């Protein structure tokens, strides 16, 4: 829908320019003409607003109210002008349109109120600047203190970083092998365990484990169990962090008449001392404890345990490799040291932990579950039968190592010693 154009109002209002004051009669007629001219402008604007259809009602009402207020202000100014001129003796007086000019510098007419006001403002500005200056100085001092603290912290941090940083170098295979175990060993702890089995031979390992769960009932938080795992022959091993927790578990499991509880004794770790002179192997334990007092410092009782398990041949005929069974505390300190003094020399110390060996083919590096051999091998003569069926073992003949036979290496003495230790 289109709006039809309306006829524009042709009458116009001419606004006269301001005229200089000539006389009273002319000024009065001019004032009346200006008031009439303002009234005409108001009526003209209202007429245009009524004829405009595209404007909203709210906008039209607002403009109309503003115009009426403007006309009212003109009328008030005219009345104030007339009153001011009537009360003055001539001149400008209190004319709102022509306010008095400010006094000139050096003149005798000075408004004391203005001077006091200026002085008061000046004092306030000076006080504000003084307070802001003090506050700024305080903040700057606080920032200096914080910067000094940060500098001291950065110096300590840089010293720590310089002490811990190491220059990266290209590592060779020989260098890595010569280092052995790293200085910082992983935190490991031995578990205090009990082995649990069932009197009923028909029950499986899962059923035994379920009985242990119901009997122990660790949900009541009366005991902490580190690990529970199934082993062969339908047995379950329950491990605790310390001996006290193990005794609690053992006492609770003993109340179940259908379970058999056996205490598991942890094996001591093994260390191998490389290239020890044969003359120093006679009294090896005493020499090791006396010449390495720093390793045994602070240890008491079983913590100082050192037993020579067996010896192995070295490359030189005047030397042997000594394998010793030690306590976990001694093992850890020796591994951190990496060497020990025995006799008139310093020897290397390395871990001699048992390797994974297959119980079927007696080879290293895998277990029976993944073995590819079809027949079991004898651990005494390396024949295709079990050791209990071996005639050589029954006749107590010298054992034969199957791994040494494969590489055509003779180590009958070491193999015999290992066989006796295992039996």
Residue 288 confidence (pLDDT): 92
Predicted local distance difference test score (pLDDT) of residue 8: 45
Q: Determine the Cα–Cα distance for residues 82 and 256; give it in Å rounded to an integer.
A: 120
pLDDT, position 273: 93
CATH label of the domain that carries residue 338? 3.30.70
pLDDT at 198: 85
The series of mean pLDDT values per 10 residues for the chain, 423 residues long, is 43 47 56 73 79 77 80 79 63 49 47 71 80 84 87 84 58 62 50 81 84 80 80 83 82 82 80 91 90 90 88 89 90 91 91 79 80 87 88 88 70 46 41
Would 76 be classed as within a structural domain?
yes
Residue ending a domain, among 87, 114, 137, is 87
Q: Do 267 and 352 touch, CB atoms closer than 8 A?
A: no
pLDDT, tens digit (0-9, with 9 covering 90-100), for 46-56: 787 777 777 77
Q: How far is CA 67 from CA 34, 47, 70, 76, 77, in A?
A: 16, 12, 5, 14, 15
Whether 179 maps to a domain, the answer reads no
At 292 the pLDDT is 92
pLDDT at residue 349, as a whole number? 93
> Are 277 and 306 found together in one domain?
yes
CB atoms within 10 A of CB 334: 24
pLDDT at 276: 92
Residue 104 lies in a domain: no
Give the CATH number for residue 208: 3.30.70.1510
Picking from 296, 307, 207, 309, the residue whose alpha carbon sits closest to that of residue 258 is 207
pLDDT tens for residues 297-353? 988 888 889 998 888 888 888 999 999 999 888 998 999 999 999 998 899 999 887
Range of the domain at 373: 368-422
Last residue of a domain, one of 241, 263, 285: 263
Work out the number of other CB atoms within 10 angstroms of the CB of residue 277: 16
């Amino acid at each position: 829908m289109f709006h039809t154009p309306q006829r524009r109002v042709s009458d116009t209002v001419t606004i006269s320019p301001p005229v200089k004051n000539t006389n009273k009669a002319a000024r009065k007629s001019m004032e009346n003409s200006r008031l009439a001219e303002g009234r005409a402008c108001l009526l003209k604007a209202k007429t245009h607003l009524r004829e405009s259809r595209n404007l909203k009602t709210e906008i039209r009402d607002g403009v109309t109210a503003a115009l009426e207020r403007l006309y009212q202000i003109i009328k008030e100014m005219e009345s104030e002008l007339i009153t001011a001129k009537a009360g003055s003796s001539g001149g400008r007086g209190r004319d709102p349109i022509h306010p008095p000019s400010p006094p000139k510098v050096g003149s005798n007419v000075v408004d004391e109120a203005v001077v006091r006001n200026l002085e008061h403002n000046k004092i306030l500005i000076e006080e504000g600047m003084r307070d802001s200056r003090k506050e700024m100085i305080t903040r700057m001092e606080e920032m200096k203190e914080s910067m000094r603290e940060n500098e001291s912290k950065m110096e300590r941090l840089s010293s720590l970083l310089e002490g811990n940083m190491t220059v990266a170098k290209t590592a060779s295979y020989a260098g890595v092998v010569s280092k052995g175990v790293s200085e910082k060993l992983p935190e490991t702890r031995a578990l205090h365990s009990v082995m649990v089995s069932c009197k009923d031979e028909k029950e499986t390992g899962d059923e035994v484990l379920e009985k242990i769960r119901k009997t122990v009932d660790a949900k009541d938080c009366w005991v902490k169990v580190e690990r529970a795992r199934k082993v062969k022959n339908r047995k379950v091993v329950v491990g605790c962090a310390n001996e006290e927790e193990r005794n609690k578990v053992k006492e609770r499991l003993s109340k179940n008449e259908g379970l058999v509880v056996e205490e598991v004794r942890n094996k001591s770790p093994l260390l191998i001392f490389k290239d020890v002179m044969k003359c120093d192997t006679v009294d090896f334990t005493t020499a090791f404890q006396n010449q390495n007092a720093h390793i045994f410092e602070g240890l008491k009782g079983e913590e100082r345990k050192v037993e020579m398990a067996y010896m192995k041949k070295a490359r030189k005929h005047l030397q042997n490799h000594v394998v010793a069974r030690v306590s976990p505390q001694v093992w850890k300190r020796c591994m951190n040291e990496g060497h020990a003094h025995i006799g008139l020399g310093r020897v290397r110390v390395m871990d001699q932990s048992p390797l994974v060996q297959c119980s079927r083919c007696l080879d290293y590096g895998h277990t029976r579950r993944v073995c590819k051999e079809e027949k079991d091998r004898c651990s005494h003569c390396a024949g295709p039968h079990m050791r209990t069926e071996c005639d050589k073992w029954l006749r107590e003949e010298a054992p034969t190592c199957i791994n040494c036979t494969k590489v055509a290496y003779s180590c009958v003495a070491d193999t015999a010693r290992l066989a006796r230790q295992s039996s």
